[in-house]
Every structure is written in C-alpha cells, then in structure tokens.
Structure 1
Amino acid sequence: MNINIKNSNMEKTFTHPCYNKGAHEFARMHIPVAPKCNISCNYCSRKFDCPNESRPGVTSEVLTPEAALYKFKEVKNKIPNLKVLGIAGPGDALANFEETKRSIELIKQEDPDITFCLSTNGLMLPFYADKLISLGVSHITVTINSVDKKIGAQIYKEINYLGTKYTGEEAAEMLMNNQLTGLKYLTSKGVICKVNTVMIKGVNDKHIVEVIKKIKDLGVYITNIMQLIPVEDSVFQDKPLVSNIELNEMRKECEKYVKQMYHCKQCRADAIGTLSLDRSIDFRNLQSCFAGCSNKKESAQIEDSGKSNEYYKFAIATKTGVNIDQHFGHAEEFLIYTYSGGNIEFLEKRSVNKYCTGVEDCDDHEDKIDKIIRTIGDCNVVLALRAGDQPVKRLEEKGIKFIQTYEGIKKGIKKAVEQLLA
C-alpha cells in the first residue's frame, strides 16, 4: 500500500460528513450524471423528476458532465463549506463510467482540492479500480447486501455483465465476487471504503453480521446498515419496515467488527448541503440557465467548429420511436433526449395521459395539459408533428419552446438546435 496516499485520503475523511459524524458542518454535493444501471434490485424503482422524495436513486434531473461543472460552480459560490463531490447515480457510477470520468476531470480542473467520492453496486469495480485511483477518487462506497449467493438471488432480479444478462444464484455469485475482489484491491491501494447494506426483514436481516465479518477482513473503514424503503412498483414494495430499534441493535452488534455509521440520511442522487440541511431544491432547473449562458459565450466557437457546446433537453412525441411523427395531444409517452457538444443521447421514456381525443378537442383539458407539462418541465424543447394553440401557449409560458416538425428524431434535434442558435 502507498502510505502517503492512505494518509492523504484519511485526512480528507475528517471533512467528509458521510464517513465522519464529526464533519457535520461540512457540505457535500451529489451530481446525477449516471442514469444507467447494470443490476436490477428487488427493492429499487428509480423515479426521475420526483422532488418530494428523499431516497437513493431519486433526482429531479440528469446532468451531462458539462452541466454538472456549471452547477458545481454555482453551488460552490453559494455554499463555501462545500468539501465533497459525490456521484451516487441515479443509476450506477460505473455503469456510466465515461460520464463519471469526464465529470470528475472537469470539476477537478475547477477545484483540485475537492474530495471526490462515488457509490457503486460493485459489479464493474475490478475493471475500473485503477482508473478511479488515477482520477483521484479517495472514498468509495460499495453496496453489499449478501455474501451468500442463495440470499443474493432473493435480492437481485438480474445483472447485466459485459452485455450478457444473468439471473438467480449465478448472477448473485458473480456480483458478490466482483464486489469483494474490487473492494479488497481498493483498500490495498489506500482508498477509504465504506460498505452500505440494506436491511431487508425476512431476507437478509439474519445474515448481515456475516456480511460485516467478511468485509472487515478486506480493510473496510466503516459500514452503513440502512433500512429498506419499500418503494411502489418494486418487488419488495410490501416488505415490512425494519424499526429504528431493530436497526440500531444490528448496528451495535456489527460495531464489534467494523465502525458503524449511525447518521445516514439515505440521500437523493442530487443532494446538496449538509446532512442536516439539504439545499438541493435551491439549485434545481439550472440546466436552462446553463444552456442560455453557454449560448452567449460560445456562438462564435460553434461557427468555427461546426458543433454546438450547448446543452438542451428535448421531449419527443413519436409513435414509432424513430421519427417525430405524433401529435402532442396524442402522445402517451415522450422520449427524452439530450444534446450536448454535438452529441445526441437518449435519456429515458416518460409516460403521460394523452389529453386529445379528437381534432375538435385538442385545445381543451387544461388540467391534463398542465400534468403533461409538469412531466416534461425540465426540457428546453418539445418536438412534435403538431400541437394546438393552447398547449403551445402553455409550454411557452413555462419557458419551453415548441417546434413542429416531421423528421427522424436525431435529424429533427439537429435542425432544432440550428434553429435555436440562429
């Protein structure tokens, strides 16, 4: 082990509120740049645009690395006690490694002294451990819910490992082996590691002590045993809650082996501020400002390079998933795409209740229009075959531009960007 790296990383622990309860006055910022996940957990149902929920996997937006840098600058300017920059999803940081890497590189150039940490399910940890160390990530959290493949098979529906899907005990064993191998390697190189474990009554609650004993031998600094949050539409949505008494009794038992975290807030993927005062709501919807500011600064560069460094988020009305070929009022879902630096990427699908049941009816149903607009409210532009005057007006009132077009989706987005920058 490199003793200098270990000592340097331990010093950063003193101002990391998740690893040190005494660091409660310091703030952290999670950047939600990692939407994809490579495992399917029975306790998970990730929802985007859900500002009223506070749990892992929830965020009000997904950022590009460039937008994350912009937001970091804004947060740092207003929260001077910001010490930690974390990537905690909303999917898995290592299932989105290029976005994770680029985000760290950009923010490190802006602030070399910030502490970088990330959370991962650990499936790809052996592949990226050295790269994470090279990037200067000093603290890594791995979620390990089982060290027994039979128990693990009850927790995970499937994993996607190097493009192949696995299920059952085979999947659980593969995930477990990669978690433990990666964790052992990281601690041997001086990275400060935390293990999160979700306590699931009737599944792994009698097994957690064995998990803690196992990871103790791997050099883990601290463990965080968390309550299962039963989430609607997840396999475990009807599982009973573990009481705080049961949770703390388990922590006390496990404290015999590894230091325990008692102050976890089970933070959102876009959390900002101290653990006792989350201020993420104060910094939402900065992407439109990021796009506007970039537009002014970089229009000359666009002419030279033929590419835009803007960031836009598009909501696409499409029947086929290939062309922009659907009336706004007929859409039962919108495909969400991002545009950044000339790159177009599909982000997700968002379901809505269509409001238009006939040509004469398409300008009415204001309540339905409002619900649709709330669902796509973080988008800059809507592309559809056509729309009535009323929804176009309501979109414009919310600062969302409507463009009527019939094109292939990516071609339509490119044309829309050209129109926006004209």
Structure 2
Amino acid sequence: MPVNFAKSIEERTLEHPCYNCAAHKYARMHIPVAPKCNVSCNFCNRKYDCVNESRPGVTSGILTPEEARDKFKVVKDRVKNLTVVGIAGPGDPLANFEETKKSIELIKKECRDITFCLSTNGLMLPVYADEIIKLGITHVTVTINAVDPKISGKIYKFVNYQGKTFVGEEAGKILLNNQLSGLKYIAGKGIVTKVNIVMIKGINDTHIPEIVKKVKECGAYMTNIMPLIPVKGSVFENRDTVNESELKDMREKCEPHLKQMYHCRQCRADAIGNLNKDVSAQFRDYRKNIISLEKPEKIHIDDKENRDYRFAVASSSGDYIDEHFGHVSQLYIYDVLKENIKFHEKRNVEIYCKGPQECTGHDDRISGIIKCVEDCDGVLVLRIGFEPVIKLREKGIKVFQMYSTIEEGIEKAVELMK
C-alpha cells in the first residue's frame, strides 16, 4: 500500500514548482541515478560532464542510490525550502528501476514527507505502475510527442522493448500503446500526471492539439509544450526550433483543452534549487559537507587554546562565501587547528540591512550580530558596510571580503592572519 504522508497530494502539488507556477518559492532536487535509456530520441544527446548547459539529459555525474541519499542530506540541510526530489535521467528512471527504487527508499528513511516525482518516456510505465504507487511517488511526467505512430517513427530512432529493437512505425505503436495505457492507469490511481511534448517544426507541430486532447482523455493533469533544443551530435542538431511567439501561441491554443505549463526551464538531470535559480554547481563537491552532518562529536572546540583560529562565514548554502554581512540570517562558524578546517556550528542572527533606508543607524541590530561573533578571529563575507567593519575591528576581529568556496576562503584568510 502507498505510504501515508502528512500532506495530501493536493498540498504536495501546491508545493511542487513544476506543477504549480505559484510555487516558485519552493525548491526541487533532481538525482541523476538513471543512466540507461530504452528509447533513442532524435533530439537527444546525453552528456554527463557538461557543467554549463541546462537541458534535460545533462548531468555532471551519475550517483549510486547511496550517494543520492548522502547528497540529499547535504542539500536538505542547506536548501531549507526543498520540497521535491525528482528522478529525470539522464536516461529513463524506469529503464533503471532498481536504482530508482532504492534511491527513493533510502531518501524516504531520511525524510518521510518529501515529495517524490519522476519523468519517463512511458515505455515501461505499465510494467512498473503498481511499484510506482507502492513507493509513494505522487507526481509522474510522461513525454509523449505524438499519438500517431507514423509521426512517432520520425521522432525516435529506435525502441528497445522486451529484448528486441523496433524502429519506425512499429516502434511508434509499441511506445504509444504503453504510454497511453500507463498514463490512464496511474492517473486513475490518483497520481498527478504531467505530459511533456517537444514541439518539433515540420514533424509534430500541427499535431500537438491532438496530443493534448488524447492525454486529457487518459487523465493527464496538465501538459508542458517545450521547444526543441537542437543539440549538437543529435539527429535533429540542424533542425530549426520554434520561437517564443510560436510556442506561446501553441500553448494558448491548447489551454481550452487542458491546463498548460508556461514556466518550464527544461532542467538538467542534476538540477537543484528554485526553477529560476539552479544552485547545483554549489553541491558538486557535496562529500566535503557530509562530515558536518554525520559526526556530532566533530567540532566542540570551544576553548581558545584548543584552536588556532575561528572564523564566521556569510554563506547562503554552506558551500560558498556569497552573502553580504548585513543580509545574513545565519553564520557558519569554522575552527582551524593545525591547518585542519572543521565546521563548528551555525548561528542564527538578525538581518540588520533590509534595504537602503535601513542599512545605517541600527546599532542595536549591528551590535547583536557583532556580539554573535565576538569569539571569532575573522569574518569572511562577500561584501560588508563601513560601520560594521569599524565595530569588528574594535573587537580585534579581522574582515575578509571575497567570493570563493568556504574552504579556499578560510585557507586564504589564515595566510593573511599570519
């Protein structure tokens, strides 16, 4: 039976940034645990190491289920508005079902109330539908680019199914049958379903309203019509894509039939953060942060004689020195002992700069944050105002303004302290 969660599916949908355009304040995390794929799309070229691209199928690396759990723990600790964990590749989650299943089970043990979703081409959806329900996955996206097998045959190079390879219209028939039967089944069981449609000029662009009507009959909650990204190395690398006006017109044309998604960012398979702010780059070295979560005995160096230096760091995530001193709501405290950098604790502080009219003349708030770091030898910030610099120096606390990783910044500060 599905897991009993504290939140209803309706509440989860309201907090899912992909299914609700008003949920922009919530964050999601994609775990790239599914490298294999059973369908070859003519628009796809999956590159695992491209750190600067943002599109489906791209990731900086593949995680094992255990690594996905460990990374989730770090992200959950740093990204306080995280509500969703999704599996969107870089291949297909259902072509890697054991890895998908184990990843969800491990993460669920860490956080019972996180929302799980996955994106699939739908080929294996009828096979794993009941397993998906048992796992407690509440949201599923199925990519359906045609409801006519002849058109599908132009979009897919081949389909691997039950140990055989199919091409052309035959491949299109098998894929479409499984997509629609699987979609209808899981939607009927209460799973919130979204259908992605890649709009491809000259192939399926005039066919899209028919797709929308058909998936509505099968119980789809919404459709997401996306522009083709002509990826180098793919069959469609030289094909023209649709412009924003053409895309908008198609979405509006389909809106009377079914709810449309207008805010898609065509995210990476390892995306983390809000839809409009991917912070996945900050977690590529997530293993460095695991020690601060799993060893409670690690950092109780409270006496000055037991450490060389103590630093307060202004960071939004616990990875980079990237915050203005007046904007922080918490400071990360690190100790240095014989060149070993150890995380000590996080300290909550009151934000004293809330805008141009409030950045000066608030001695009470500034004094509060100064008092919070009185036991520190230095403060590492992205930026800081003149007034707090003076007050910190009066306490013998040095100020270092920089942008870097926390570890690199502390190493640099130690050199300057000598």
Q: TM-score scaled to structure 1, two decimals?
A: 0.67
Matches within 5 A, 1:227-306: 227-286=227-286
Aligned partner of 2:144: which letter? I
Aligned partner of 2:86: which letter? G
Q: How far did residue 289 of structure 1 move?
A: 7.0
User: Contact between 2:271 and 2:279, CA under 8 Å: does it hold in 1?
Assistant: yes
Number of matched residues? 293
User: Contact between 1:10 and 1:192, CA under 8 Å: does it hold in 2?
Assistant: no
Q: How far did residue 241 of structure 1 move?
A: 1.4
Counterparts in 2 of 1:80 and 1:176: CA distance versus 1, 3 Å: same
Aligned partner of 1:104: which letter? I
Corresponding position: 1:20 with 2:46: no
Matches within 5 A, 1:178-197: 178-197=178-197
Q: Which segments of 5 or more consecutive residues in structure 2 lack a partner in the other structure?
A: 298-418
| Equivalent residue, structure 1, for 2:129 | 129
Aligned partner of 2:102: which letter? R
Distance 1:9 1:130 in 2: 17
Identity %: 62
Q: Name the SS for the 2:62 alignment partner.
A: coil
| Equivalent residue, structure 1, for 2:146 | 146
Matches within 5 A, 1:7-406: 8-286=8-286
Q: Deviations along 1:170-213, whole A, 9 cap, x unmatched?
A: 00110000000000000100000000000000010010000001
User: Contact between 1:28 and 1:83, CA under 8 Å: does it hold in 2?
Assistant: yes
Aligned partner of 1:255: which letter? E
User: Contact between 2:35 and 2:92, CA under 8 Å: does it hold in 1?
Assistant: yes
Q: Name the SS for the 1:206 alignment partner.
A: helix
User: Contact between 2:74 and 2:289, CA under 8 Å: does it hold in 1?
Assistant: no
Counterparts in 2 of 1:36 and 1:289: CA distance versus 1, 3 Å: farther
Q: How far did residue 288 of structure 1 move?
A: 7.4
User: Contact between 1:67 and 1:290, CA under 8 Å: does it hold in 2?
Assistant: no
Distance 1:285 1:59 in 2: 14
Distance 1:113 1:54 in 2: 28
Distance 1:53 1:156 in 2: 23
Counterparts in 2 of 1:254 and 1:64: CA distance versus 1, 3 Å: same
* Rg comparison, structure with higher value: 2
Q: Name the SS for the 1:172 alignment partner.
A: helix
Q: How far did residue 25 of structure 1 move?
A: 0.1
Distance 2:53 2:273 in 1: 16
Q: How far did residue 287 of structure 1 move?
A: 5.1
Aligned partner of 1:33: which letter? V
Distance 1:265 1:189 in 2: 28
Q: TM-score scaled to structure 2, two decimals?
A: 0.68
Distance 2:179 2:190 in 1: 17
Distance 1:266 1:227 in 2: 9
Q: How far did residue 44 of structure 1 move?
A: 0.4
Counterparts in 2 of 1:25 and 1:97: CA distance versus 1, 3 Å: same
Aligned partner of 2:29: which letter? M
Q: Name the SS for the 2:22 alignment partner.
A: helix
Counterparts in 2 of 1:290 and 1:97: CA distance versus 1, 3 Å: farther
